[in-house]
Structure 1
């Protein structure tokens, strides 16, 4: 059970809250990635989808990090 609660607890969330937040970041990024693939094939489509999504998600991440700042954290998950 600790595997599912340790990290969410470290950022002040329950497992389900963390799941919701992670998905609220992940799904738009997946959509942006698909938009980038479409744009590569058809350059006249989705010309701003990736960059707009990344900028919006970055702003959300920085705002959230400020509320839950516990110092530098490094995660090498690739």
Structure 2
């Protein structure tokens, strides 16, 4: 059970647990920043016009190639 939760997936993407955690936190932080920009845009439509969608498209381009070369749990 421990290996399934903490070891198998990072190993499947050729990362250690700390490397995988850092990568996931980085993506999460970037998503949080994109979400904040979307909220700002919702309040003041003239600000952050494409910042949120630009961030999402960039992340998608970085993550999607890795997504299909690993098993799903």
Instruction: With the length of structure 2 as denominator, give the TM-score of the two structures.
Output: 0.81
Structure 1 stretches of at least 4 aligned residues deviating more than 3 Å after TM superposition: none
Task: Identify the structure with bigger relative contact order (alpha carbons < 8 Å, sequence gap 6+).
Answer: 2
Equivalent pairs counted in the alignment come to 71
User: Hey, what does 1:70 align to over in structure 2?
Assistant: 70
> What runs of 5+ residues in structure 1 fail to find an aligned partner?
none
User: Hey, what does 2:11 align to over in structure 1?
Assistant: 9
User: Hey, what does 2:39 align to over in structure 1?
Assistant: 37
2:21, 2:30 → 1: CA distance? 14
Instruction: With the length of structure 1 as denominator, give the TM-score of the two structures.
Output: 0.76
> What runs of 5+ residues in structure 2 fail to find an aligned partner?
none
User: Hey, what does 2:29 align to over in structure 1?
Assistant: 27
2:49, 2:59 → 1: CA distance? 17
User: Hey, what does 1:58 align to over in structure 2?
Assistant: 60
| SS of aligned partner of 2:7 | helix
